[in-house]
Chains A and B, each alone.
Chain A
Amino acid sequence: MKKFLFFALAALTFAACETDPTGNGKEPSITLYDVVAELVYPAEFAPSEGIEIVAKNSNGTTTTATTDSEGKASFQLPEGKYEFSASDKRALDGYSYTFNAMVSNLVISESTTIQLEMTGSRSGQILIKEIYAGGCQKDDGSGVYQFDKYITIYNNSDQVATLNNFGVGMANPSNAHASNGNYVDGVLSYADQGFTPSASGIWFMQHPITLQPFEEKVIAVNGAINHTTTYTNSVDLSNADYCMYDPEVLANTSYYPAPSETIAVEDYMKVCFIGLGNAWAFSAICPGVFIFNLDEGIDPLAYGQAEENIYYPAGNEGNAVYACVKIPNEAILDVVDIFSAEHLDESLPRFSNTLEAGYTVLTNKLGYTSYRNVDKEATEAIVENEGKLVYGYAKGTVDANGATSTDNSGIDAEASIAAGAKIIYLDTNNSTNDFHQRANAALRD
């Protein structure tokens, strides 16, 4: 995810106190100085208690101390040249922040207080783990069933994530290979405008949502019911965590049947719909999906209907069929651009390069799903995962063009999760690297 670096200068002051000799005069005295190390965070982050600061002497000895509630840790160190370092992880508004501070070659010759400027990098904490959009074959052979779409979002960190104004959008055009009025002279017209248009409107949660570390939430795009009772190749969404359901606006009961009674009403997402028809037509071929978190205090419904936040692709100005809501890129947590295997050559990217540097390919109608790859190195680095990771992943597929699509990590993420592992998924802002086409929806595992 986007990384933001925070630069600062470290200011050092020294203070020391001389320890009295042992009194017998037999051994040379070692003078220990009181050193207070203080972690300095960016303004929006409060100091944390319990963060370990390491002071490493040039002779190789290390001393550690943990911070108090003010972010200060106290050392007693002998004179020498030191390297101070600290590391901290935080989560805010759907992003993970990793803070690091390090000061080298610091000479301690007296008691002093030092400040360690915590420099943070932001990465995607909440990711789209899976998009099941292409549908499956009906049991009677009459064709494809596609009213069973869902999206899984995932907390890709060991930090709790809280999103106050979470929403889902879909890029325009609904299909990547469709006539695309967003390209002017071969350039994506909004690429440098700081926003991404969401076709026909947006869906938003009615309350803040919280995802525990490595927790996922399933969002039923349409039909939060058990589809498998009729379509055995489909999925059971009756236990979805959230669902898109707003019958006051979109009352198409085929596309939006009343959600399973097991789903709490507060977990219904509401829609700001500015298109035409009675459904938010989520592409069953190759959607461009993004999740976002608007600033707290913004009313998504009013925001999406405000004239200044409406966007039309060139050639379709004023045409409600093509009306889009502009979502600031800063608010976007993750995007996935899906191209149809049948129309790969005709497809155009729908996101700016900074959001999405690639795409993933889907052959629809066969129950395939777009599934995020595992970050093998990071996942294996989690100590608790030892013995819990399941290898030999075999749910990759061969797409319509004969290309193999699989997770090269070899880790079967779903099986590993079932075994108690914590999975860190790959997040390079490039779905070509980050995603593969999985043989079946994860909910069918």
Chain B
Amino acid sequence: MANSLKSIICTLVFVAVAFVAQAQKGYTFSGRVTTFSDDISVVGAAVVIDGGALWAITDGEGNFAIHNIASQLVTVEVSSLGYVAQKFEVDLTKAPIPYIIKLAESNLAIDEVVVTAQRRTESNATSFVVDRTTLDHSQMVNVSNITTLLPGGKTTGDQNLASGANRIALNTGSGSEMGNASFGTAIDIDGMRLGNNAAADELKGVDLRNVGVSNIESVEIVTGIPSVEYGDLSNGIVKINTRKGRSPFIIDIMFEPKTKQIALSKGFKLSKKAGTINLNAERTRSITNLSSPYTAYERNNLNINYSNTFKDHRDQPLHFSFGLSGNFGGYNSKADPDQFKDTYTKMRDYALRGNIKLNWLINRSWITNLTLQATASYSDRTTLQSENKNSASTQPFIHSTEQGYFVGEIYDKNPDANIILSPTGYWYLHSVVDTKPVAYSLKAKADHRTKWGHSFNMAMIGAELTGSGNLGRGLYYEDMRYAPTWREYSYREQPFMNNAALFVEDDLKLGFSEHSSLGITAGVRADMTMVKNTPYGTVASLSPRVSARYAIWEDAPQTVSSLVIYGGWGKSVKQPSFAVLNPRPTYSDSLAFAPGTTADGTTFYAYYTQPTTPLYNPDLKWQHTNQSEIGIEATIAGTRISLSLFRNRTINPYITQTIYTPFSYKLTTQANLEADCTIPSANREYLIDQKTGIVTVRDITGAQQPQTIGYKERRTFVGQTNYTNGSPIERRGVNLIVDFAEIHAIRTRIRFDGNYYYYKGTNQHLTATTLGNATMSNGDAYKYIGYFAGTSSVSNGRLSREVNANLTIITHIPKVRMIFSVRLESSLYNYSQNLSEYADGTPRGYRLEESGDYIGSEGNLYNEGKYVAVYPEYYSTWENPNELIPFAEKFLWAKENDPQLYNDLARLVEKTNTNYYFNSNRTSAYVAANFNLTKEIGRFASISFYARNFFYHMGKVRSSQTGLESSLFDSGIIPKFYYGLSLKLKF
């Protein structure tokens, strides 16, 4: 598969090169880009015609030239770092030569300043853009907070990096949900995917703490149907663009009570033709505790972006960019004096990411652009821990990986023993969780763009090869003398997951008039996921996506100046992660023999180890989401309204399951020892046969013959966990943004944004459970396995609905270079309902008249104020694990006929804790208020301040489920009062 991809890429390049000699005729658009205020050349500005059909990058003198332009009337977009982008139309027959384009510096002195997430109106899909000014104004330290700017988003208070991982989950709600939303949310930085597929111990989105925000130029958040260019996602994509090109020297200092940040940035021209380089360094430090500022997370970012534009022999631009970013830091508690001496947790968060990108404007009749990109990333997220340990008796440290019986041995006598007996006294345990995720990608993309009249078409074809794995060793211990029960599971020995993808897409825009058009984007992406040496082999998936945008009229000189409707449908597939693909071998260790502890605290424990091989699930299907959306946008008398509705159905979400396998072992008790052994304890040496489990006591003095000890047979289960697919998850929502026209008299804009969100997820997958170490009423180990529809709990799902509304008042006074915004964030409706139902909606449990009952009546479970019992669908026994016995029928029979069976089965029944568990829960409305202020002091300095929850809201909310009120203060429902200050200097 990889070879075929390479062939395609080579062919594309070859064909492109072969035709470059063919000349084309047309118009030329050339000129110079300068600053608005002082006519200084702007180096590295992008001049783009007709949405990317043709383009140029200004040279060291600010000059550009675009040749072979087919149409006379073109739309030109000019942008450069630190300047306000311009978009205008040019009639090339009348355009002056050179055409001078003046870019205004982006600052608060200009009229149009945006400090909110903006709907990307030209897109067929719902997406939002956050620019640098907005990031500065919000003083964002943590890029995961970007979602707080989306419609209905809620601000977080403390942006502390030390409090835990920070991830992004799009198209999701505020409660706990199934469907792995953060894992399904893709994060791209300059086209490089920050995935978490190589994480060995979690199924979540990537931790974004090591991504500095100071280097971000803009962020696009696509919650709707993304282009087929983007794969390996199921909940949207966040595209982060870092600073590139020339920029002033910027010092950015930020203070929050628990977080400090300093960032330095400078973009400069290397020489006339050597391109530009942009350097950014950031140090951010967060502490966990103000009163003890020692345990901290540190982010030390260094980013280098180099770019240069070359010209081929036809004077066509070939833009080369290279980016390298690294982070050095992590979480460290070693310096914390509150910790016991020499105990600490250090979690490295090292990252090295590189990407190379080549954009070549070939501009031939059959190809317009060719883009090649290669990325690679390496992370070191190793955790080092030093723990103080102590014990008054020897503890069994089990390391056996083979089936059988093993007796504990003293480390000094046999350091390689299957069971090491711990020391007594005090010691330190040094553990390392070595995890080093790596990923790479190679991508080739070609497009062909044509324009006629007001119409436009872009056909794109591309191929992508990605891979991820983990070079870490996993958990290990520095000194095996102290290594507790553990088996090595080396991540680096697990296979990489590689994926080859082909994608084609056509973006057609039919212009009916100057103000009316219909755009249709349709594409399909084929992924082939390859995991060597596993039952999965190669898994193919197809992701068709289509979207359309109909501009009934746009930019028309009338009261309703724009009216646009759009919609789409698409399928996106989320590849599994390392943890999903690679079930670990499990080991069940059962105490087989425990002679009494000797006077020095030694006990020669023996255990029976039942190992299992990794239980792959060859039936595992890749999780995917079918997205559909529809939206409308209108501009009425300067007021912009954006409304979108979506429905996302996540199919086959990854979930874990446990499979229980019966086994038996021999248990030699102290009673057996006392009954069968006459050798004095001081003279005993215990031996256990690895295969039979028979314990023999040898007299080390030789005075007595070895004595065989009796035993009892114990029956139990070994559980193996792997991943399977859950039931579909349904999400629906409405997003609304209303940006009212500016009230000129007071230089104030008002934005209203809000959302409605609906979630319903239930799990119907038959889930096995047992009672672990429980015994039955006859003293034997518990021998039943229960099989529940969904999870082995009273609830197998949840339904939620919420309505959030925010009102933002933004006052911008260009003359004094100041912008001030107040945001009132409200939750108007917050509803949730625990669910216990089958796929067809019928109740999955029984209503109980009394809390202590186990037998109830059928009927509606919700809002009845009843205790509820949920039975497993089936149960099986140790003796016959494959026979699934209908539970309810047998349970009712046992109540009358077999009290012991009834009591034993009753323990599998799940019951609600309260009689209101299945009552719906409506949390009453609440509101919090935040403000942000940014003030520029001349051209060289700006200062920003923010306060979260500055009213210090002490109100209460009421839960309809319990009827209880709870305080908002320190509740986590609204952010705590918090504040921050930043100072930015430009030279």
Contacts and interface: CB of A to CB of B under 8 A. Distances in A.
A302 B605 contact: no
A400 interface: no
A306 B395 CA distance: 35
A381 interface: no
B918 to A, nearest CB: 12
Interface in B884-903: 899-900, 902-903
Given A247-B594, A253-B605, A230 B914 contact: no
A318 to B, nearest CB: 2
Given A142-B388, A301-B777, A257 B603 contact: yes
Interface centre among B343, B390, B596, B671 (most CB of A within 10 A): B596
A223 B392 contact: yes
A70 B487 CA distance: 73
A19 interface: no
B37 to A, nearest CB: 66
B605 A258 contact: yes
Contacts of A305: 776-777, 903-904, 907
Contacts of A307: 854, 902-903, 906
Interface string B378-408: 0000000000101111011000000000000
Nearest to A310: B852
A314 B912 CA distance: 11
Contact of A318 (B671, B779, B781, B794): B794
Interface residues of B, number: 60
Interface in A224-255: 224-227, 229-231, 234, 238, 247-251, 253-254
A145 B390 CA distance: 9
Contact of A302 (B396, B777, B854): B777
Interface stretch (A56-64, A159-167, A260-268, A284-292): A260-268
Contact of B851 (A142, A251, A260, A312): A312
B774 to A, nearest CB: 7
A307 B898 CA distance: 13
Given A142-B340, A231-B392, A261-B681, A318 B913 contact: yes
A433 to B, nearest CB: 35
B777 A229 contact: no
A395 to B, nearest CB: 25
Interface in B849-874: 851-852, 854, 867, 869
Given A249-B774, A318-B910, A238 B426 contact: no
Nearest to A229: B601
B371 interface: no
B340 A318 contact: no
A209 to B, nearest CB: 17
Contact of B591 (A143, A148, A231, A251): A251
Q: Majority SS of interface residues in chain B?
A: loop
A262 B912 contact: no
Interface string B770-783: 00111111110100
A316 interface: yes
Interface string A279-318: 0000000000000000000000110011100111011111
Interface stretch (A133-141, A169-177, A345-353): A133-141
Contact of B773 (A139, A147, A250, A311): A250
Nearest to A316: B913
A248 B903 contact: no
A230 B425 contact: yes
A427 B676 CA distance: 45
B370 interface: no
B912 A317 contact: yes
B793 to A, nearest CB: 10
Contacts of B595: 258, 261
B596 A261 contact: yes
Nearest to A147: B392
Given A230-B426, A234-B392, A258 B596 contact: yes
B392 A258 contact: no
Contacts of B913: 312, 315-319
Interface residues of A, number: 55
Nearest to B870: A318
Contact of B600 (A229, A247, A257, A314): A229
A223 to B, nearest CB: 7
Interface in B310-368: 340, 343
A259 interface: yes
Contacts of B340: 141-143
A115 to B, nearest CB: 47
B714 interface: yes
B430 interface: no
Interface centre among A247, A249, A318 (most CB of B within 10 A): A318
Interface in A117-132: none
Interface string B782-807: 00000000000010000000000000
A263 B669 CA distance: 14
B426 A229 contact: no
B667 A238 contact: no
Contact of B869 (A261, A262, A306, A318): A318
A278 interface: yes
A278 B395 CA distance: 15
B425 A249 contact: no
Interface centre among B424, B426, B681, B775 (most CB of A within 10 A): B775
A417 B595 CA distance: 34
B391 to A, nearest CB: 7
B599 interface: yes
A248 B392 contact: no
A223 B426 contact: no
A41 interface: no
A265 B392 contact: no
A263 B681 CA distance: 13
Interface of A: 138-143, 145, 147-148, 223-227, 229-231, 234, 238, 247-251, 253-254, 257-266, 268, 273-274, 276, 278, 301-302, 305-307, 310-312, 314-319
Closest 7 CB pairs between A and B? Answer: A318-B911, A261-B596, A257-B393, A258-B594, A230-B392, A258-B603, A265-B671
Interface of B: 340, 343, 388, 390-393, 395-396, 424-426, 590-591, 594-601, 603, 605, 667, 669-671, 674, 681, 714, 772-779, 781, 794, 851-852, 854, 867, 869, 899-900, 902-904, 906-907, 909-915
15 contacts: A140-B426, A229-B601, A230-B392, A230-B425, A247-B591, A261-B681, A264-B674, A265-B669, A265-B674, A268-B670, A273-B774, A302-B778, A307-B903, A317-B913, A319-B911
Given A254-B391, A273-B773, 5 more contacts: A139-B426, A226-B599, A248-B775, A312-B852, A317-B852
